[in-house]
Amino acid sequence: MGRIGKLTTAHGKITTPTLMPVIDPSDVILTPIEMRREFGTELVMTNAYLIMKYFGEKATKYGIHRILGYDGPIMTDSGGYQILRYGGVEVSPEEIIRYQDIMSPDIATILDTPTGVHPTKERAKQTVQTTVERAKQAVQLRSNPKVMWCGPVQGGLFNDLVAKSAREIGKLDYHIHAIGGPVELLEKYRYVELVDLVITAKQNLPLQRPVHLFGAGHPMMLALSVAMGCDLFDSAAYILYARDGRYLTSEGTFHLADLSYFPCECPVCVENFPQKLRHMPKEKQIKLLAIHNLHVTFGEIRRVRQLIIEGKLWEHVQLRCRAHPRLLEGFRRLLEYTNFIERFDPVTKKSTFYYSGGESVGRPEVLRHRRRLENRYKPPSLPTLAIMPAFERERPKLSKPERTHLVRVIPPFGVIPEELEEIYPLGQTRAPKKLDPEQIKTATESLRRFLKLYGKCYKQILLFNNEHHWSNSLIKACNSVVEKLKIIELYKIHHRKIK
């Protein structure tokens, strides 16, 4: 579901997925212009509620772009997060809509009522209702055509409420949708619930609208979030972590105090070493850590974009989710939604399908092959079916090739009829020859289904035993499938090892 998009704003085009560094108007460590120069930042984010507190009418008089000294795209958040953290804000929903409308950011956000992760269902229901009501009211209040509006989805951990919230807000005139509530889930590494939240929202939102995942700016989980179809990410993490001496990497977070080396290639890490940074004045140390944190995060965004183009995002997610067991848990949850994801997965890709561990059998390509074999396939009318548990496309010697239909059982896909073997990705897959249990399970399950559906179309079924040491386990498994089905006459023939 990961996608490259173009978002046109009043101050320029943005390529998504992208990261919006959050600018705290009261304490600017790096200006938006520095960020653009250093990291190629396309969009920055600031908080309309805090702007109102610090600048008041000055911001409505001069506009947000002059206040931040930046002529590129700016998004404003409205204070919903402050409600969640501090229990309330001293501004009404109408005020904050009008305020943003006048100071004219490129993207503005309504004041929603965050559900969070703790409330009762009754309270959660109320937050969804209030947010939808405010979203409806905001549509009436808006008057500045230059501003695009973001309508947040709420509902927290109640999937039915998230679905309802997404459906309701998706019907309204909004340009972008934000998924609220993940901050608390991210802080506690609750990735399973994050996956449920995001996928439920995506299943119910208009798919053409960009989706912003609130507070998800850690490079470790960007790939997973993009794979779920999120397009915009905000990062306050770069600076919050830096203040705390925390050093972001795509593999997780380190503490400056614990580092002997910098595992990174950015200018900060090449020119310094941890010992040196630890002895710097605090402000300088924070700034350098913040610069590093943004470098790795933008680096990951560029990597993810490139891998989307190459059709290799899935393999990258699989790799990234090895960084933490909870992340792996989240990724495994995502596999439970493969049914939905398969609709968005390109039927052909530029790249080879690389098998990179047990989760690869849960890939959309594997599911698609199984479905198509069951729903669209018709075997040729030949009397003999020859089944060959195999890995490579060796050609067995058949006594009557013109009367025989050859199908290979190749993990992870399973049954691949000979006439389909050039279809992507069946002929463009690389997998290790030492099979793992998941590969054998999906391959033999595929054979079982195939024989159940089409076994009666043949008069005779042959099962090859080609004695390759690496496919012994597969041959055994295929044997037991064929024997259990007790279909017609079964001949087992031994095939010479092919050099």
Q: How many CB atoms sit inside 10 A of residue 7's CB?
A: 21
Q: 268 or 410, CB closer to Zn ion?
A: 268
CB of 264 to Zn ion, least distance (A): 3
DSSP state of 360: G
Q: Identify the residue among 164, 292, 305, 405 touching Zn ion (CB under 5 A).
A: 292
Whether 345 is catalytic: no
Q: 222 or 264, CB closer to Zn ion?
A: 264
* Binding track, positions 123-142, relative to Zn ion; x by CB under 5 A: --------------------
CB of 270 to Zn ion, least distance (A): 8
Q: 239 or 415, CB closer to Zn ion?
A: 239
CB of 256 to Zn ion, least distance (A): 12
* Binding track, positions 256-275, relative to Zn ion; x by CB under 5 A: --------x-x-xx------
H or E stretch covering 270: helix 267-271
Say which amino acid occupies 114.
P
Rounded to whole angstroms, the Cα distance separating 390 from 392 reads 6
Q: 295 or 320, CB closer to Zn ion?
A: 295
CB 446 within 8 A of CB 373: yes
* Binding track, positions 213-252, relative to Zn ion; x by CB under 5 A: ----------------------------------------
Q: 251 or 394, CB closer to Zn ion?
A: 251
Rounded to whole angstroms, the Cα distance separating 149 from 100 reads 10
Of 160-168, 288-296, 343-351, 432-440: span binding Zn ion (CB under 5 A): 288-296
In 3D space, the residue among 374, 375, 372, 379 whose CA is nearest the CA of residue 459 turns out to be 379
Radius of gyration of the chain (CA): 27
Residue for token digits 């044997």? 479
* Residue 370 is a binding residue for Zn ion (CB under 5 A): no
CB of 323 to Zn ion, least distance (A): 17
Angle, helices 159-170/191-204, rounded to nearest 10 degrees: 30
CB 127 within 8 A of CB 113: yes
Cis peptide before 425 (omega within 30 of 0): yes
Residue in 24, 77, 258, 345 annotated catalytic: 77
DSSP-based helix, strand, coil % in the chain, nearest 5? 50, 15, 35
CB of 251 to Zn ion, least distance (A): 13
Q: Catalytic residue positions?
A: 77
Chain residues binding Zn ion by CB under 5 A are 264, 266, 268-269, 292
